[in-house]
Amino acid sequence: MMNNTEIMMHLASQYLAAAGISFVAKKDDDSHTNLRYDAEGSYLETHPLSENGDTLALNYSTFSLDWLSQDGMSTFSLDGATHKEAINWITEISAKRLNKEYTFEFHYDLPYDLKDYYTFYLEANDIAQLAQLRAIAENALEQIVRDNHLNSSVRIWPHHFDSGAYSPLKENDQISIGLGMAIPDSVCDTHYFYLSGYKNGSAIDVKDFKELTKGKWVNSGFMGAVQSVTNMNESDTVAFFQEAINQFKNI
């Protein structure tokens, strides 16, 4: 299950999602809310919030919110800060930089209760581990997208907080795949890598698929391949995704 640090980072990502909702042109697929993970810099970042390229970032290394602009960077440390203080900082800096109003409102339900007095605190080792998982997922997914010529970017969707990609297969555009890394949930009690296939809008039944070298096929609720992140490195993750993709290619 999710530990306190995992919940805390999920909550902090909502500041970025709200910036997307407040300042980015709405997309029907909700992609205006999604985020990019910079594996080298260890931070989540919004789409550009202005014509000048302003973005809001959640920095895992410094445990801070960073407003990035052509004029430089402004930083708000989350360690010891309350939810209300974070909202006030973003509201003030967005008004100054964009002359627009920031609102912390969503068209989806937040998974946790977030009150004004909720206080963030630094757990450096836990956050470093989460940053490492994001980096493994980001780099492995980027390689899979390149190697399989998938028409997709790799993004973090703040509602479920998964790193993911989705694309038709080049070899058979009637089949699309969704793959990524999910946070602990009813499918797996740790972070886990996943891959599923879809045809005509429906998930493909995997009960007759060949056993995987790593991970397993599940066919109840979620239908696809699942592998816990435990003891997985980047090359292991690429191999897991590729082996699962190959089976969908051979349908």
Q: What is the pLDDT of residues 71-104, one digit of tens each?
A: 889 999 999 999 999 999 999 999 999 999 999 9
Average pLDDT over residues 219-244: 96
SS3 assignment for 2-64? CCHHHHHHHHHHHHHHHHHHHHCCCCCCCHHHCEEEECCCCEEECCCCCCCCCEEEEECCCCE
Cross-strand bridge partners of residue 55: 68
Q: What is the pLDDT of residues 163-218, one digit of tens each?
A: 999 999 999 999 999 999 999 999 999 999 999 999 988 999 999 999 999 999 99
CA distance 201 to 217: 20
pLDDT of residue 128 exceeding 80:
yes
Phi, psi of 3 (to 5 degrees): -90, 175
Judging by beta carbons within 10 Å of its beta carbon (0-12, 13-18, 19+), is residue 150 exposed, middle or buried? buried
CB atoms within 10 A of CB 49: 24
CA distance 239 to 193: 11
pLDDT at 23: 97
- Between the two ends of the chain, the Cα-to-Cα distance in Å is 35
DSSP 215: S
CA distance 146 to 159: 26
Percent of the chain with pLDDT over 90: 89
pLDDT at 200: 87
Who wins on pLDDT, 134 or 1? 134
pLDDT band at 221 (very low <50, low <70, confident <90, very high): confident
pLDDT band at 108 (very low <50, low <70, confident <90, very high): confident
CA distance 251 to 244: 12
Q: Would you say 238 and 195 are in contact if contact means Cβ atoms under 8 Å apart?
A: no
Q: What is the pLDDT of residues 1-51, one digit of tens each?
A: 667 899 999 999 999 999 999 999 999 888 999 999 999 999 999 999 999
